[in-house]
Chain A
Amino acid sequence: MSDKVTLGTLATTVPGLDVLLGGGLSEFSFNLIAGAPGSGKTTLAHQIMFSLAGPQRKALFFTVLGEPPLKMLRYQQQYSFYDLDKVGNSIRYVNLGEDLRMGNFSGVLDRIMREVEAFSPSLVFVDSFRSVVQTAKDGNEGIADLQHFIQELGTRMTSWEATTFLIGEYTQVEAEANPIMTVADGLLYLSQYQERDSVVRKIRIVKMRGREHLSGSHAFRISGDGVRIYPRVLPRVPEMLPKGGSTEASSRIATGTPQLDEMLNGGLPRGHALLVTGPSGSGKTVFSTGFLAEGSSRGEKGVVVFFEKTTPSVRNRKLSELVESGDVCIVESRLLDLAVEELIDDLVKAVQRTGATRVVLDSLSEFGLYLAPECRADIRDAVFRVFSTLAGLGVSVVATIGLEDRVMQADASRAGIAFLADAVVAMRAVETEGRLVRLISVVKVRGSAHSADLREYVITDDGIEIDDRPTGLLPGWLSPRDPGR
C-alpha cells in the first residue's frame, strides 16, 4: 500500500470532458476556465456546477463585474442541465460587484471567505475573474497585490476543501503568462476558430496537475443541452473480429451482390471497410442499398450516412422501404461546419441505438463539403478517424467515392483514401461499339485472397448483376511508348 496522497476525482459528466481530463477533475483543485467572450466559459462552468452540486456538495457562484447576474440567470436557465430545484439549497449565487467597487482585494477576499464559511460549499466559482484582476492598481505594487490575492485565494479555497473555478476572458497567450497560472492547478482554454464562414469551437486542457489528461485541441458544440465535447481519440478494435484470411462462413458477410461475394473469396470479411470507387452513374448507391438490404434479409440492422444534397431515400424505393421498416437508420447533417468528431458521435450513437452491424457512407466525395474548412483541409485524416471508429464498433462498412469519368484510368488511390480501406472494389465504364460497358474488379482485400478478374456488370431493378467470367473487352497488356511521339 502506498503512503502517497490519493487525489479524489470529480467526474463532471459533461459529455466528453472527463475523457480529456483523464477521468475528471482533481478534488480541491484550483482551476482557470479561460477564453474569449462568447467561447462558452460561463456555460461550461454552469454545466460542471449543476452536474456536481447537490445537498452533500454545495456550490457558490460569485458573479463579479462580468455578465450581469440578471442576464446570466435568464440565459443559463435555457439549458436543460439548469435544475431549478438545486438553486437556493445546493447552489447559491453571490454578487461581488459592489464589494469590488467599494474595497480592495483584501475586502473581496474577506467577503468570499465569509460567504464560503456561511454556506460551506465544496465548489466555488468566480465569474468573471478578469474583472477582479482589472481592479489591480498599476505598477509593481498592484501586480504584487494581485499575486498575493490569487495565492491567498488558492490556498484558502484548497484548505477549505473546495474545488475552485476562476472564469476569465483571456486569450491563450495571456492566460499562460498570467500570474494565476503559477497558482492554478488546471487551465481549460476555450476558443473559436474561424475559417471562411465557418466557426469550430475548440477546448484544450493546457494544464491539469496530477492527472493524465489528453493534450491537443478538441472540437465541441453548444446546444440546448449545453457543452458537448468530441475528444480526438481512436477506439480499440474489438477482439471478437475474425482473424485475417479466414474464409469461414461466419467470418464473411454477403454483400447483396452474390457474384461479387464470389470474387471476394466468400464475401466481405466481417468488420472490414470496403471502399467502392466509380464514376457517376456506375451504381455505387445501388450496390450500397443492396448491401443494406442483404443485411435486413438476415435480420441485421444498418446505418447509412448520406452526404448528398438530397437523401437518396427520396428517390430510391428500395432504400425508403428499408428505412420505413426500421431496418435502416439514416444519419444526415444539415450543418456545413461539421467537425468530423460530430459525425463520428452521431454515427456511434446510431449504431449503438439500433445495434447495427452494417454501415454505409455515401459518398466520401461529398463528405468534405459538409466539413468545416479547417477539417476539410485533411479529408484523409477525417476518413481515417471515421473508419477507425467504425472498426472499433466491429461493424462492416461500405463507403463509396466518386471518380471523374476517365474511362481508361482506375484511380482507386484517390486522395490516399484507398490505403485506409480494408478492401477496394473499382467500378468503371468503357466505350465500345457505340455503347458504355460497365466493368468491376476487386482491387484489394486485406488478409485475403480475391479474384483478379475484370468483369462486366449491369444495373437492374434488382441491383448489380455481374458476369461470371472476365471481360474480353480490354487487352490489358503493356506496350512501349511510341519513340516517334
Chain B
Amino acid sequence: MDKNHDKRQQLIFDLLRPGRDAAGGIDPVRPWKRLAAHLNPLIGETGFTALYGRAIRLMQSHYPWLAGEQSMRSTDSLFTNLASQLSSVNATLAAEANLALLDTFSKLLSGLIGEALTIRLLNSAWDDASHQGNAKEQK
C-alpha cells in the first residue's frame, strides 16, 4: 500500500510538472482539467465536484483562502474559482496548496475506488498531458 501511495504522489508531481500556460508560466489548473477529462466520463461531473468539495473542506484548516462556493456543479466553474484563489497568494504557497489539494483529492478517490484504479487514471491523465506537451514542443 505504501508503494502505491508513493507512486500516486509521484504521479501528482509529474502531473504538475509539464503544464505551462500561453505566457510560459505554470498553469496550476491544467492538471485538474486533465484529471477531470478522464474522471468525468467515469464518475460523472457530479462525482468529481463532490470529491473536489470534500478535498477543499479538508484543506481549509491549512489554507483558509481556498474556501469557496461548495454548491458549484460544473468543473469549469470550480477551476475558474481555483485559479483566482491561487493567483491571490504568492507562487510558492499556491504551488504548495495546489499539490496538497491534488494529493487530498486523489487520496479520497483512491479510498473509494482503490489505489490501483486511481493510479491508472492518473497515468492516463499524465500520458495525455505529456503527449500534448510534446506536440507543442514539436511545433
B124 interface residue (CB < 8 Å to A): yes
B46 within 8 A of A: yes
Q: Which residues of B contact A92 (CB under 8 A)?
A: 41
Determine whether the beta carbon of A93 is less than 8 Å from that of B112: no
Query: When the two chains form their complex, are residues B44 and A63 in contact, meaning their CB atoms are under 8 A apart?
Result: yes
The A-contacting residues of B in range 32-77, CB under 8 angstroms, are 40-47, 51
Residue of A nearest to B124 (CB): A88
Assess the B112–A74 pair: CB atoms within 8 A.
yes
Task: Give the most central of A74, A94, A95: most B CB within 10 Å.
Answer: A95
Task: Tell me how many residue pairs across A and B have CB atoms closer than 8 Å.
Answer: 50
In the complex, which of the residues B46, B51, B117 contacts A87, with contact meaning CB atoms closer than 8 Å? B117
Is B133 close to A, CB under 8 A? no
A36-55 interface code vs B (CB 8 A; 1 in, 0 out): 00000000000000000000
B120 at interface, CB cutoff 8 A: yes
Is residue A458 contacting chain B, with contact meaning CB distance below 8 A?
A: no
Are A73 and B113 within 8 A (Cβ)? yes
| B43 lies within 8 A of A69 (CB) | yes
Most chain B CB neighbours (cut-off 10 Å) among A69, A70, A73: A70
**When A84-B120, A88-B120 are in contact, do A73 and B44 touch as well, CB less than 8 Å?**
no
Q: Which residues of B contact A94 (CB under 8 A)?
A: 41-42
Q: Determine if A471 is an interface residue (Cβ-Cβ < 8 Å).
A: no
The winner among B44, B46, B112, B124 for most chain A CB atoms within 10 A is: B44
A73 pairs with B117, CB closer than 8 A? yes
Measured CB to CB, the nearest residue on chain A to B119 is A84
Interface band, chain A:
10 to 19
Interface residues of A in 277-335 (CB under 8 A from B): none
Using A84-B120, A87-B120 as known contacts, say yes or no to A95 and B114 having CB atoms under 8 A apart.
Answer: no
Contacts of B114 in A (CB 8 A): 74, 77, 84
B43 & A70 in contact (Cβ 8 Å cutoff): yes
B116, CB-defined interface residue at 8 Å: yes
Smallest CB gap from B111: residue in A: A74
Annotate B80-118 by CB proximity to A: 1 below 8 A, 0 otherwise.
000000000000000000000000000000001110110
Contacts of A73 in B (CB 8 A): 42-43, 112-113, 117
Please tell me if A117 contacts chain B, counting CB pairs below 8 Å: no
CB distance from B97 to the nearest CB of A (A): 25
Interface core residue of B40, B42, B117 (most chain A CB under 10 Å):
B42
Q: Contacts of A98 on B, CB cut-off 8 Å?
A: 44-46
Q: Cβ of B42: which chain A residues have Cβ within 8 Å of it?
A: 69, 73, 93-95
Q: Is B120 within 8 A of A70, CB to CB?
A: no
How far is it, in angstroms, between the C-alpha of A92 and the C-alpha of B124 when the chains are bound?
Answer: 13
CB distance from A430 to the nearest CB of B (A): 68
Contacting residues, chain A, for B45 (C-beta < 8 A): 98
Q: Give 9 CB contacts A-B under 8 Å.
A: A63-B44, A68-B44, A68-B46, A70-B43, A73-B117, A87-B117, A97-B46, A98-B44, A98-B46
Chain B residues with CB under 8 Å of chain A are 40-47, 51, 112-114, 116-117, 120, 124
Q: Which 7 A-B pairs have the closest CB atoms?
A: A95-B44, A73-B113, A69-B43, A70-B47, A70-B43, A93-B42, A97-B44
